[in-house]
Chain A
Amino acid sequence: MEFFTISMLNGLSYGLLLFMLSSGLTLIFSMMGVLNFAHASFYMLGAYIAYTIARLVGFWPGLIIAPLVVGALGALFERVCLRRVHKFGHVPELLITFGLSFVIFELVVLTWGRIGVEFLPPESLRGSAFTIVNSSVSGLHLVAGAAPAAMCTATDPAVHIACSQFPATRAFMMLITLVMLLFLWLLLTRTRVGLVIQSALTHPEMVEALGHNVPRVFMLVFGAGTALAGLAGVIGGITFVTEPTMALAVGSVIFVVVVVGGMGSLAGAFVASLLIGVLQTFAVGSDASVLSLSRSLNFAVSPSLADFSLFKLTIAQVAPILPYLLLVLILIFRPKGLLGTREG
């Protein structure tokens, strides 16, 4: 039970992080038709810039400044490069962001080195947010912070006690993302700027005719989307490892999120992010395989077959490819994506 709860929370927090990334990606895509291949590179930049700021002035200023810097860089890229190739069509747009991801990777390696940096969470976020104590005598308990050692050790050998901790960084990740989401939702639905953005999504010519500067709106949306990626990077950086391959690790997963959720659908991206986050987290913790399944169903498995790696393969081992498998299945059975409205 406590394993399930902790895994669920881990999965949800990872899913929320994915959504922070894919929301920016989806917003940019549905507005400009541009799939920002370098989105995960901005995520990585956020982590590295926050790392540098954290070493100079501390983590909390970095949490604010790094996303702003990344957003400014994103807006600059839109202004200087992307706007220029916009007239050539979607393929060159995709190509230039691909080129950017290449350049950012090389620049990060150049500036911060090929091996990862040690980006630690601040003192207040180390340790665990709460601990679930499962005792065979007194049942489940929730303890804030780390549970005292006395609670987790049983004096009586007949009593079985298990303690599962939930890291504070994960809780922080969920908190920030939810606040972020609320803010984004209010901005899009309750403000004038949000109204202009929403209308520019569907009727850019009309918005332009009414006197709004649509290219500037595009630039701001691109900047905001990359700033979100930067923020996700700061949180991802302290939770996972900050290294040059971190962009690669989430980059293709967020594309899967966008396709599975339905191209350009924010709600779809939300559902798909959580789905993939939970799916991957549970898969990593499971060691079931075809072999163990057939054994539990009492099928006789010949030794030579049992030795074949596909049969011994545990779900944990295939966890990295599960999102892509999901992608293929969705494309075959529901090409629009989960909540998508358009096919194409």
Chain B
Amino acid sequence: MDLATPAAAPRSVSHPPARGRLLVWGGYALLLLVAPLVLPSNLERSVLTQIGIGIVACLSYNMLLGQGGMLSFGHAVYTGLGTFVAVHAMLGIADGSFPIPMSLVPLIGGIAGIFFAALFGYVTTKKAGTPFAMITLGIGELVAPMVLIIPEFFGGEGGISVNRTAGPSFLGLTYGPQIQVYYLIALYTFACTVAMFAFTRTPLGRMLNAVRDNPERVEFVGYSTQRVRYLSFIIAGFFAGISGGMYVVHFEIATPDVVGAARSGVYLLFTFLGGATFFFGPIIGAVLMVVGFALFSEVTKAWLLYLGLIFMLMVMYAPGGIASLIMMNARVAAHRKLHRLWGWYALLAATVIVMLAGLAAVIEMVYARQYGAVGETKARYLGMTLETTDVAPWAIAIVVALVGFALFELVRRRFATEWGRIQTEIEATMTSKEPS
């Protein structure tokens, strides 16, 4: 970005010029293109593919949460039913009764998403806010057991397996190699991201923001808040269904857990962590989601506990998620004041590491006792072996955690003052630059 004069800086941040936007989208496309070349192993490519699926799911979820202020506890219903319908489409392709190219399977999922979102959304979008959240939860609980109640369609507990290479090849694409699957999903991911960003610029997308911020005023202007929510819900359902269709192309199986409440919770958790207030936040969230499930779950069994704690801290201290943290620092950087914060960040990081080291030692020791082999009393932690029957490791760990917490709180308060001072300075320069 061209930041020659400080005066131009705030403008270019709040209204990126066309060239900047082109750069961002070009970079995104390039990233999707080269990622599998940088990470060539099968596992890495599988993770990348899942990231693409996750991005579309989280972005579609954020259409509700971030743009519409609708907290849904049942988004997996739409991704999951998309998955199941797509599975049947693939079965049809395999036995020739449904002759479409395999590349269009995600779209079939999307159409299923539209259908079910239109069906259930009619009930859920009658309300907003807290009742909406509870009703989506209820719908989720209604649909999840259906998988076991109607095994003819859902395949019961074992789910339905398909073979993506079974159909006739189209344009030479057999989807045997993982790389072909990756590029198909990358293409869908890119197209869906563009489409969902474009949606935020449409009159409906704008009205959705208005419904979130001030529903009474929207009603006064003459719009039906319910219809705006309903239409947006259907569109979100479409993209969720596409994500579900992509899922089945990649995994070649649809199991009951794809419509479950746990999956809905995970979408909510990571979309929020990534940042619901910015369009690109859920992309960060989706990357974290897939990487978290693929890697962190290998590192520590307690990772879901850490995740929950981080989530709670995020809700309390940074309700805009990671994206808002990035954007706030970008604003500080644009005003060339970031250098005043580096020292504070280093201090904060150091105290957090001390605190976490102590806390994590306690958690890992409890896990070792609870889930280790019978008679196993040692916990492996940061290359050390801790004897869980002794008092010393517990005491040391707790003291380290408490000291870390005290130091962190001390630094955080000073940092908050400094941060507030910088924000005041920025506000001052912005108001003085504004044409009167």
List A residues at the B interface (Cβ < 8 Å). Answer: 29, 33, 35, 81, 84-85, 88, 90-92, 94-96, 98-100, 102-103, 106-107, 110-111, 113, 248, 252, 255-256, 258-259, 263, 308-310, 313, 317-318, 320-321, 323-325, 327-328, 331-332, 335, 344
Query: Could you list 23 examples of A-B contacts with CB < 8 Å?
Result: A29-B130, A35-B133, A91-B71, A91-B129, A92-B315, A95-B315, A96-B315, A98-B265, A99-B269, A99-B312, A99-B315, A110-B302, A110-B366, A113-B370, A255-B134, A309-B150, A317-B149, A321-B142, A324-B139, A327-B135, A328-B123, A331-B127, A332-B123
CB distance from A223 to the nearest CB of B (A): 19
One of B165-173, B247-255, B283-291, B303-311 at the interface: B303-311
A103 and B142 form a contact (CB under 8 A): no
A328 and B139 form a contact (CB under 8 A): yes
CB distance from B426 to the nearest CB of A (A): 22
Closest 6 A/B residue pairs (Cβ): A324-B142, A106-B305, A102-B308, A103-B308, A99-B312, A99-B311
> Nearest residue in B to A252 (C-beta to C-beta)?
B141
Chain A residues whose CB sits within 8 angstroms of the CB of B65 once the complex forms: 91
Chain B residues whose CB sits within 8 angstroms of the CB of A99 once the complex forms: 269, 308, 311-312, 315
CB distance from A253 to the nearest CB of B (A): 9
B127 and A335 form a contact (CB under 8 A): yes
Docked pose: A102 CA to B315 CA in angstroms: 14
Chain B residues whose CB sits within 8 angstroms of the CB of A94 once the complex forms: 71, 130, 133
Chain A residues whose CB sits within 8 angstroms of the CB of B305 once the complex forms: 103, 106-107, 110
> Nearest residue in A to B134 (C-beta to C-beta)?
A255
CB distance from A229 to the nearest CB of B (A): 17
A324 and B138 form a contact (CB under 8 A): yes
A313 and B316 form a contact (CB under 8 A): no
B130 and A33 form a contact (CB under 8 A): yes
A259 and B134 form a contact (CB under 8 A): yes
List B residues at the A interface (Cβ < 8 Å). Answer: 65, 69, 71, 73, 123, 126-131, 133-135, 137-139, 141-142, 145-146, 149-152, 261, 265, 268-269, 272, 302, 304-305, 307-309, 311-312, 315-316, 319, 363, 366-367, 370
State the main secondary structure of chain B at its contact with A.
helix
Chain A residues whose CB sits within 8 angstroms of the CB of B71 once the complex forms: 91, 94-95
CB distance from A111 to the nearest CB of B (A): 7
Chain B residues whose CB sits within 8 angstroms of the CB of A320 once the complex forms: 145
Chain A residues whose CB sits within 8 angstroms of the CB of B265 once the complex forms: 98, 102
> Nearest residue in A to B309 (C-beta to C-beta)?
A103
Residue picked from A94, A248, A325, most chain B C-beta under 10 Å: A94
> Nearest residue in A to B70 (C-beta to C-beta)?
A91
> Nearest residue in B to A331 (C-beta to C-beta)?
B123
Chain A residues whose CB sits within 8 angstroms of the CB of B138 once the complex forms: 252, 255-256, 259, 323-324, 327-328
CB distance from A239 to the nearest CB of B (A): 22
A106 and B135 form a contact (CB under 8 A): no
B127 and A106 form a contact (CB under 8 A): no
A309 and B363 form a contact (CB under 8 A): no
Chain A residues whose CB sits within 8 angstroms of the CB of B312 once the complex forms: 81, 96, 99-100, 103
B370 and A102 form a contact (CB under 8 A): no
A91 and B126 form a contact (CB under 8 A): no
Chain A residues whose CB sits within 8 angstroms of the CB of B141 once the complex forms: 252, 321, 324
B130 and A111 form a contact (CB under 8 A): no
Chain B residues whose CB sits within 8 angstroms of the CB of A317 once the complex forms: 149
Chain B residues whose CB sits within 8 angstroms of the CB of A88 once the complex forms: 319
Chain A residues whose CB sits within 8 angstroms of the CB of B363 once the complex forms: 110
Chain B residues whose CB sits within 8 angstroms of the CB of A111 once the complex forms: 366, 370
Task: Other than A100-B312, A256-B138, give 10 A-B pairs with Cβ distance below 8 A.
Answer: A85-B315, A85-B319, A90-B129, A99-B312, A102-B311, A258-B134, A321-B146, A324-B141, A324-B142, A344-B129
Docked pose: A289 CA to B127 CA in angstroms: 33
Docked pose: A88 CA to B129 CA in angstroms: 13
Docked pose: A35 CA to B308 CA in angstroms: 19
CB distance from B118 to the nearest CB of A (A): 15
Chain A residues whose CB sits within 8 angstroms of the CB of B131 once the complex forms: 259, 263, 344
Docked pose: A324 CA to B144 CA in angstroms: 11
Chain B residues whose CB sits within 8 angstroms of the CB of A100 once the complex forms: 312
CB distance from A88 to the nearest CB of B (A): 5
Chain A residues whose CB sits within 8 angstroms of the CB of B133 once the complex forms: 35, 94
> Nearest residue in A to B316 (C-beta to C-beta)?
A84
CB distance from A273 to the nearest CB of B (A): 15
> Nearest residue in A to B266 (C-beta to C-beta)?
A102
Docked pose: A110 CA to B150 CA in angstroms: 35
Docked pose: A294 CA to B402 CA in angstroms: 68
Docked pose: A255 CA to B138 CA in angstroms: 8
A98 and B142 form a contact (CB under 8 A): no
CB distance from B339 to the nearest CB of A (A): 30
